[in-house]
Amino acid sequence: MSEPINHGEEPTGPVIRDKRRLDPATGEVRDGAAAETAAPAPAQPVADENPSLDGILADLDAAQSSAAERLADLQRVQAEFVNYKRRVERDREQSAVLATAGLLESLLPVLDDVHLARQHGDLEGGPFAAIAEKLEKTLERYGLSRYGEPGEPFDPAVHEALMHTEAELPEGTEVTTVVQVLQPGYRLGERVLRAARVAVADPA
């Protein structure tokens, strides 16, 4: 006797599901496995590409610090250059003064002869007087000046005392005084080329 057919009801007993990726009959990939294989990987979280405010401030501080260091370096180099330029200019001026002083010192014996000739009246008129005057005027333009006159207070910085004598000095004189100029002194600006050689006397 046959059992009645149970229409519309779930079969009873164990249910076996074949989860193999390949169909054993055809060897092809089953649709479910292919879909599973082709399924895209889960999306990874995207990092925030916008930098934070703290990062921006840190970069700004670093840039400002670097700019300050570069500015300090530039200012130091500029100061060194200015000092170097001043030193070069000062050395150039000193070299020019020394060269001029050397030339004028070599001419002092000539000027001494001119001065003595004038004192003895040998330059009264004549072409030599005009030449001597031109020479002195030319040297004056370079800053050369003659000094030393009787009656000046004796100053060892600009006078060289060759004689110490007794002489009548003006009333009220309280310091050692030049009474005779044996050889005039010469200056180049404020620089003494040769001290005036003099005779001096002390006050009574």
Q: Which two tokens stand for residue 144?
A: 């050369």
Q: Report if residue 193 sits inside a domain.
A: yes
Q: Is the pLDDT of residue 26 over 80?
A: no
Residue 40 belongs to a domain: no
Segment among 38-42, 86-90, 189-193 with least mean pLDDT? 38-42
Best CA proximity match to 111, nearest among 144, 141, 143, 142 = 144
Confidence at 51, pLDDT banded by 50, 70, 90: low
Tell me how many domains the chain contains: 1
Res. 21: pLDDT tops 80: no
DSSP per residue, 52-64: PHHHHHHHHHHHH
The pairing of strands 177-183 and 191-194 is unpaired
Residue 48, in any domain of the structure: no
pLDDT in tens, 135-178: 999 999 989 999 999 999 999 999 999 999 988 888 888 999 99
For position 196, what pLDDT does the model report? 96
Weakest mean pLDDT among 17-31, 92-106, 187-201: 17-31
148 within domain boundaries: yes
Is 159 inside any structural domain? yes
Estimate the share of the chain in helix, then strand, then coil, as percent rounded to the nearest 5.
45, 15, 40
Range of the domain at 191: 144-204
Three-class secondary structure of residue 131 per DSSP: helix
CA nearest neighbour of 169 among 121, 203, 196: 203
32 within domain boundaries: no
In the block, residue with structure tokens 């005009």: 130
Give the pLDDT mean for 91-106: 90
Question: Does residue 129 lie within any of the structural domains?
Answer: no
Q: Which CATH number goes with the domain that contains 152?
A: 2.30.22.10
Residue 78: inside a domain, yes or no? no
Pick the range with the lowest mean pLDDT from 8-17, 21-30, 56-65, 135-144: 8-17
Spatial contact of 200 and 163, defined as CB atoms under 8 Å apart: yes
CB 189 within 8 A of CB 166: no
